[in-house]
Every structure is written in structure tokens, then in C-alpha cells.
Amino acid sequence: MLYRRVVRPLLFSLPPEFVHHLSMRTLTRTPLASLMEPLTRRDYPGLERKCFGLTFPNPIGLAAGFDKNGEGVMAWSKLGFGFMELGTVTPRPQPGNPTPRIFRLPAEQGLINRLGFPNVGMDKVARRLEKIRIHGRWPATPVGVNIGKNKDTPLAEAGRDYTACFRRMRDLADYQVVNVSSPNTPGLRELQRSEFLDAILGPLRDEDPEGKHPLLIKIAPDLVEEDLVNIVAAVEKYRLAGIVATNTTTDKRGLTLQEEGGTSGRPLTSRSTEIIRSLHRLTGGRVPIIGVGGIFNAADAQEKLAAGASLLQLYTGFVYEGPLVVRKICQGLI
């Protein structure tokens, strides 16, 4: 209640990207996360999940895009998250698209972003993760890394970028996610087509022929049934560990703001659940699905789990509901 009535209105009076960077600095450079841990973190033995060889203390994770550069690795488990997904990380540093590039939709409980993979590059992120591992501070919760291609890399050469990232992060991340679904890098969603998937996933599987390192793929919510059939075929062909469903949507029907970019939050809830349900049916439940898109409370979480998701991720729900959201969702699921 305090967050909704006092903190959120104050934060929402400021530019969205400024608030995001302020929040990241506060969580990573001050003891705030540690001070909040007694309130935000709980153990829920009944919610423990085992997926692709990893143990998740609870099924609620932080979605990719929030911690692009791996700065908050030590903070997210203190806020109750059962796992985290860093990135999207690209081989070379890049600034992303021009600002402003994040827009709030308070009436619809959503966000529009056109960030375009701004990040410090795989080497700097890797060195940051190496330092955490060397000093024995790696969290007990799984750490995933979402990987992508640089904006100026031609689609035909995208496999090179994904392979470079995979190779650099392989011994650091607990799992990796191939992001071919962001709407904010020109042409990126074309990589969801079968011929491009072969050119990306084939070399990645050659890097790890026995599948020791869990590799997943993140897909868009704007796909039709035929697209999903092709995605599932590629997942099975290359023995991927799972599917992340879904990224943001380009469908802006009915929104009060018509900015370019991908929409997340409540406008995405139903569509992402439909995609999860279809994937669960097409895979026969054999492939773990991480459900993401418009999860704000336990009812939203339960809906996606019932549709076939094994794990869940938050981004916009975390922005709107605040630092106690994971605890509230987990308690609701219990």
C-alpha cells in the first residue's frame, strides 16, 4: 500500500529511464536490498522447481531487460526472486536507440520500450560475473544470461554474434537464452524463421553437442500457429532446454499511447498466456516453458502455470507492484 500510494506516484512523476537507472544504482550501490531482505525474501519449499538440471527455490524470476549489465546479481535473490535473467548482452557494447525510449501506460498498467539492447558488451559483463564467482558471492538462485546480436550485424551473420556470446558466458551463466524476438532491433524477429534458426542454433549446438549448458529461446507473442510449429520443431531438432514466452508485443490496439516499440504488462497478459498454452500443447508438455508477460499477482501467475508454464518472470509487474511483489505472488501460490 505504501508503494502504491506514496512511492510509485513519486517515481512515476519522473522520466521512466531515469527512474530505472536510479533504482539500479540504489539496489546495487547501497545496502537497501539487504535491509529489505527480511521483508521481501521467504523460503517456500512447496514452490521449489527443478528444470533443465537446475533447482529454482521458487518459480518467480526477474525477466531479461531489467538488469542488462549484470549489476544487481547480488540483489535480486534478496528481493525474493527465485532466479534472474541478465541482459540482453551483445558481443560489442552498444548504446541502444535514441532517448526517450521508455513510456508508461498507467491506465493500462503497461510499458512501451524501444531500448534496442543497450549494454556494455559481453566481455565487461563476463568480467563482472567472473569477479562474483571468484569471490564466492554467487547467489544460490540460478543466473541466466539473455544473448543477442549487435544492431549493425547483418541477419545473415547473426549466428556469429550468438555463438560468441554463448562461448563467452558458457562457464559463467547457469543457463542462456537466445533472444530472436525483440521488436526494437531492426529485422531481429526475422530470425524466428526456420532458415535463420538453423543458422543460429546449429552452430550453438556444435559448441555444446552434449547439451550440458542449458540453452533456451525467447519468442515473440505476435506469432501465428504455423510459426509456433516451426519454433517447436527447431527446439526439438536442436534439443533446446526450454522456451521463454513471450517478449513484448507490437500490437497497440486500444492503447492510450501509440509510441513505437514493444508493449509489456497488462496489455500482454492474455496473449502471452495463449502462446504458453499453444506451446504446451505442441510440445506435449515435454519442453519447460518460462512464462512472462503481464504477471502482477498470484492469480496471473497461477493462470500461466495452469496454461503450461514451469517458471515465470516479472518485469512490468515489478515496476507497478514494487519490491514485495514476489513475496505476495509466492504466498498466493502457496
What's the CATH number where 116 sits? 3.20.20.70
Mapped onto helix, strand or coil, the DSSP state of residue 47 is: helix
The pLDDT > 70 percentage for the chain reads: 100
The CA distance from 209 to 311, in Å, is: 25
pLDDT for the residue numbered 2: 86
pLDDT for the residue numbered 58: 98
Mapped onto helix, strand or coil, the DSSP state of residue 319 is: helix
The CA distance from 23 to 119, in Å, is: 17
pLDDT for the residue numbered 6: 95
In this prediction, residues 69-97 reach a mean pLDDT of 97
Q: What's the pTM value of the predicted model, to 2 decimals?
A: 0.97
Kind and range of the H or E run holding 158: helix 158-169
The pLDDT > 90 percentage for the chain reads: 99
Q: Are 23 and 36 in contact (CB under 8 A)?
A: no
Mean pLDDT of all residues belonging to the chain: 97
What is the extent of the structural domain holding 319? 2-333
The closest of 121, 214, 205, 128 to 165, measured between CA atoms, is 121
Q: Which residues are catalytic?
A: 182
pLDDT digits (tens, 9 = 90+) for 157-210: 999 999 999 999 999 999 999 999 999 999 999 999 999 999 999 999 999 999
Strand ranges (DSSP E) for the chain?
49-51, 54-56, 60-62, 83-89, 102-105, 110-113, 143-147, 175-179, 215-219, 242-245, 262-265, 289-292, 311-314
The CA distance from 56 to 49, in Å, is: 5
pLDDT digits (tens, 9 = 90+) for 244-263: 999 999 999 999 999 999 99
In DSSP terms, 54 is beta-bridged to: 51
Q: Are 95 and 155 in contact (CB under 8 A)?
A: no
pLDDT digits (tens, 9 = 90+) for 284-304: 999 999 999 999 999 999 999
Q: Are 328 and 42 in contact (CB under 8 A)?
A: no
The CA distance from 279 to 172, in Å, is: 29
The closest of 184, 176, 199 to 126, measured between CA atoms, is 176
- Number of structural domains (the chain) is 1
pLDDT digits (tens, 9 = 90+) for 12-57: 999 999 999 999 999 999 999 999 999 999 999 999 999 999 999 9
pLDDT for the residue numbered 108: 97
Q: Is 1's pLDDT higher than 90?
A: no
Distances (CA, A) of 218 to 26, 37, 290, 314: 29, 30, 9, 14
The closest of 180, 175, 179, 212 to 310, measured between CA atoms, is 175
Kind and range of the H or E run holding 195: helix 194-207
Q: Are 186 and 114 in contact (CB under 8 A)?
A: no
Q: Mutual orientation of helices 158-169 and 122-134 as an angle, nearest 10°?
A: 10
In this prediction, residues 63-92 reach a mean pLDDT of 98
pLDDT digits (tens, 9 = 90+) for 207-228: 999 999 999 999 999 999 999 9
The CA distance from 247 to 270, in Å, is: 13
